[in-house]
Amino acid sequence: MRFAAKRPVMQVLVENVAMDFSYSKTWRRQLPEAYERLLFDVLRGDSTLFTRSDEVEAAWHVLDPVLKTWANNRDFPMAEYAAGTWGPAEARELMIGEDQEWQNF
């Protein structure tokens, strides 16, 4: 299976890659640190990768009722997991019997 991924360069260049690809292996270059690109964009005045305030408000309009339902009604359990881990056990259980596994990078 293949999908489109943005190349790790300052321009917007998209390339088809295999689903199990790795940026550093595919393009053989060191990737910027997590916030390096965003801080550079701030200095350049480029807000392309930032969420607008109306988008944030729209997201909360959708998510707030979900969060309130989870908090007030245990009939809708939310899988929880410790910060820094690969996710809840329920995610691993999705692959049981499928002869597949998650790839944690």
DSSP calls for 15-47: EEEETT--HHHHH-SPPPPTTHHHHHHHHHT--
- Report the phi/psi class of residue 88: left, alpha or beta, with left for phi > 0 and alpha for psi in -120 to 50: beta
**Both 42 and 66 in a single domain?**
no
Containing structural domain, residue 41: 1-49
Cα 95–Cα 101–Cα 102 angle in degrees, nearest 5:
100
Q: Based on the structure, what is the number of domains in the chain?
A: 2
- Evaluate whether residue 103 is within a structural domain: no
70 and 30 within one domain: no
Q: Is residue 105 part of a domain?
A: no
Per-residue pLDDT tens listing for the chain (105 residues)? 788 888 877 778 898 888 777 777 777 777 777 788 888 889 999 888 889 999 999 999 999 998 898 888 878 777 889 998 888 988 888 877 777 777 776
Would 59 be classed as within a structural domain?
yes
Beta-strand runs (E) in the chain:
2-6, 14-18
Whole-Å CA distances, 37 to 8, 23, 43, 47, 55 = 10, 15, 10, 11, 21
Single pTM value for the model: 0.45
Does residue 62 share a domain with residue 45?
Answer: no
Residues 12 and 40 in one domain: yes
pLDDT at 82: 92
**Residue 44 and residue 1 share a domain:** yes
- pLDDT of 105: 66
User: Domain for residue 104, yes or no?
Assistant: no
